[in-house]
Amino acid sequence: MNEREARAILFSAIEGGHTFWAAEIYGSSALEVINKLINGGYDRIKYGALIDYISLTSSDSILSSIDAAGSTFLVPGDNFWPSRVEDLVTPPIALIGKGNLAVLTNDSLAIVGSRNPTNYGARIAGDFAAGFVDREWAVISGGAYGIDTYAHKGALIAEGCTVAVIASGIDVNYPAGNTRLFEEICESGALITEVMPGVKAMPHRFLTRNRLIAAMSLATLVVEAAFRSGSLRTARDAAELLRPVMAIPGPIHSPTSDGCHRLIGERAAELVTSVADAVEFIGLNQ
């Protein structure tokens, strides 16, 4: 077994964002971790289910299922591995990608926000996405309804590249209404996930997915977000990585802008009102 095969087995067995196992794998190697699991280096009672799974699972079957989904298994050291994710406290064991994976090495901006945006927010997301792809950046978002969708579409309409980091298997179109969008994204950009093919989206996977969006990007822009929004988690993940965070102001009585105003008020994000503002702020903070 080599390191790639060992990562394939652990990737299929361990949920993304696991602090202990990420530290173990990146502290030594996936191959060393598997050898320790099999040879009693970890508590056999506490990790019994994981040990049993590893003993009964072959890397060939895992890699074959990824190939069958028309996707590519990515590990550190691969040409298109997005190395910025290794800055995370819990970097991914591996990733699965589909489409033009070369885009993962581009400079990129994360655009995130509400699933129920106003017309104002939808327009801003599309405009900023178009503005950045015109500067040959990629736009990264989460493939969800709302601001994510408008950001992806804005990049595509401007004939640029965009990346959707999804919370389900690469072959599970979630949300189903964005199936066509995912196909269009793959023509010039890519889909990325941290779970195996066939795995359904679950609430906790959106939160662990958000850290990848923040880490893969050089900066994050929050367009519209409620006071308690998953987009704020992405912004805070980016801030923890010392990446520039920006927010778009909205009407003071708009609940969909409460989260943006909170970030700005706490000085956790820079207020920006134009693509030029955002470009200047990112340039000053790199």
Domain of residue 159, CATH code: 3.40.50.450
How confident is the model over 179-197, as pLDDT tens digits? 999 999 999 999 999 999 9
Q: Are residues 125 and 110 in the same domain?
A: yes
| Residue 225 contacts residue 200 (beta carbons within 8 Å) | no
Identify the pLDDT of residue 1.
86
Q: Are residues 94 and 108 in the same domain?
A: no
Average pLDDT, the chain: 95
Last residue of a domain, one of 65, 81, 99: 99
Q: Are residues 117 and 62 in the same domain?
A: no
Identify the pLDDT of residue 86.
96
pLDDT higher than threshold 90 for residue 286: no
Q: Are residues 217 and 81 in the same domain?
A: no
Pairing state of beta strands 95-99 and 190-193?
antiparallel
End-to-end Cα spacing for the chain = 40
Q: Are residues 18 and 94 in the same domain?
A: yes
Q: Are residues 163 and 249 in the same domain?
A: yes
Cα-trace Rg, the chain: 19
**How much of the chain, in percent, has pLDDT values that exceed 70?**
99
Identify the pLDDT of residue 230.
83
With b for 16 or more beta-carbon neighbours within 10 A and e for fewer, the 111-137 pattern comes to: bbbbbebbebbbebbbbbbbbbbeeeb
Domain count, the chain: 2
In which domain, by residue range, is 59 found?
3-99
pLDDT higher than threshold 80 for residue 64: yes
Last residue of a domain, one of 79, 99, 119: 99
The Cα–Cα gap between 168 and 173 comes to 8
Identify the pLDDT of residue 228.
82
Confidence grade of residue 80 (pLDDT, cut at 50, 70, 90): very high
Identify the pLDDT of residue 227.
84
Main-chain phi, psi angles of 20, to 5 degrees: -65, -50
